[in-house]
Structure 1
Amino acid sequence: MLKKITPLILTYNEAPNIERTIQALKWAKQIVVIDSYSTDETLEILHSYPQVEIFQNKFDSFASQCNYGLGKISSEWVLSLDADYVLTDELIDEITALKAETNINSYSVRFKYCVFGKPLRGTLLPPRKVLYKREKAIYQDDGHAHRVVVEGNSIILYSYIYHDDRKPLKRWLWAQDRYMVIETQKLLQTPTSELSLGDRIRREKIIAPFIILFYCLIIKGGILDGWHGWYYAFQRVLAEILLSIRLIEAEKFKT
């Protein structure tokens, strides 16, 4: 199965992360990277791996970048990864054992969020379709995020991917603010009846950060992870506060 898979990665100034991601993909004959004109050492790191093929493309949206990347791949299967995703040995073994000739067109994988390299007990990240047949897939934007739509049957694998982002806080804040501007537009432009329960709560602004704090620490067991769990909880609370501020700004000042 591994011989029929090409990893696809999007990058923009991912020097703190990209080498760990590539190291877990040494089995791949080709790795396609779509870079949004990085200005740090990302490209230098990538050029040190001969199986990496880099295409630079101006960033419009995550979905458009991914669809652009699909056009650069010829293998039957695609493994779509963020630049801070690290495959576990267990997942690689599980993918190796998959039978290529099945009626399954995509596989979803669960995540373990890492804080400074330490996997946490729980995460807010849902499972994501990361392994799929190229000809059956297309990406669509979804608020600040994106999702892949794959025709046909799908199942979830047992093993995990580590989400291990080690970019500095300044970069995280910059990214979160950009994301929350887009998320604000989504929440305000979508009819309430079409929003999930979680998004309805987020649109109320005040209560969402407190719910996230309780959910991360108690429901997801973050309090048992010590200061790593508190760090993650504070990150998510801060992200929700940024969203609340953006919602208030948009509603009061019509920006």
Structure 2
Amino acid sequence: MKKSNNISALMIVFNESKHIEDAINNIDFADEIIVIDSFSTDGTFEKLQKLKHVKVIQREFKNFADQRNFAISQATKDWILFIDADERITEKLKQELNSEINTSNDIIAYMFKRKYFFKQKRIRFCGFQTDTTYRLFKKGFFKYDETKIVHEMPIIDGKSKILKNDMLHYCFDSAAHYKSKMEHYASLKALELFKKGKKPNAFHFYIRPLYKFLVNYIFRLGFLDGVEGLQICYLSAYGVYYRYKELEKLSS
């Protein structure tokens, strides 16, 4: 695919040695590639240093919104494409996004639909069937709300649109990998709640995790994803429980 000469591709990473080379190759159509590494310890940084067409900056991780906004500040092109190391842009999506940004319209941000994979198996339910995320936007019209330090919320100055083609998300290699991610996100969410003065109670420890499991496994049809669906729904509920246990620690 011909470069647009208009896209800065950005990534924030930590210990993504398994994915990093494929992820960089996947976005080689961008005019510039910038990676913000949070002092990886698994060889990710060393692999990135060997890629001469990639600008690598090491920066301490504070939270996702802060790190993403810093990455945006480093971009020099008109359009910014954010991608995580475990995401892949299909050829059809590349063609669609390139067509969009080279078409005269008033859209300044685009959402991507994602197909999830768990241990290389496509996950069709568990609440993932409606997942979309902002991944392409015009510089100067988009930033992340830094009061939301996990599950970042965008602040958009203009119109947005959902693209037709899907991004692939190889999000979890194993149940242990998923659990570690849930714990990381839960710890950040607990800090966010603590800063707002929230305190946990029995409802948060028992009812909210159960509700999370039932919604994803029953109402969002997680049971149709088999054993993997059960694992995902259980660990999502565990993440809610872990969030409030961490909040309890902060509050004590």
Superposed pair shares fold, TM > 0.5: yes
Q: List alignment gaps of at least 5 residues for structure 2.
A: none
Q: Under a length normalisation based on structure 2, what TM-score does the superposition of the two structures give?
A: 0.83
Say if 2:110 and 2:136, in contact at 8 Å, map to a contact too.
Answer: yes
1:90 corresponds to? 92
1:207 counterpart = 2:212:
no
Alpha-carbon deviations, 1:95-115, whole Å to 9, x = none?
A: 132144211111111222210
Say if 2:116 and 2:168, in contact at 8 Å, map to a contact too.
Answer: yes
Q: List alignment gaps of at least 5 residues for structure 1.
A: 193-199
Say if 1:16 and 1:167, in contact at 8 Å, map to a contact too.
Answer: no
Task: Report the number of matched residues.
Answer: 245
Alpha-carbon deviations, 1:220-251, whole Å to 9, x = none?
A: 3322222222232222122122124334555x
SS in 2 for 1:164: strand
Q: Quick one: distance in 1 between partners of 2:191 and 2:46?
A: 36
SS in 2 for 1:71: helix
1:42 corresponds to? 44
- AA matched with 1:69: A
Deviates more, 1:236-245 or 1:159-168: 159-168
2:138 corresponds to? 133
1:113 counterpart = 2:119:
no
Q: Quick one: distance in 1 between partners of 2:244 and 2:69?
A: 31
Q: Quick one: distance in 1 between partners of 2:92 and 2:226?
A: 26
Change (3 A) 1:124 1:191: farther
1:186 counterpart = 2:188:
no
Q: Under a length normalisation based on structure 1, what TM-score does the superposition of the two structures give?
A: 0.82
2:245 corresponds to? 245
2:7 maps to which of 5, 8, 32: 5
Q: Quick one: distance in 2 between partners of 1:91 and 1:123?
A: 24
Say if 1:132 and 1:150, in contact at 8 Å, map to a contact too.
Answer: no
Say if 1:187 and 1:203, in contact at 8 Å, map to a contact too.
Answer: no
Identity %: 24
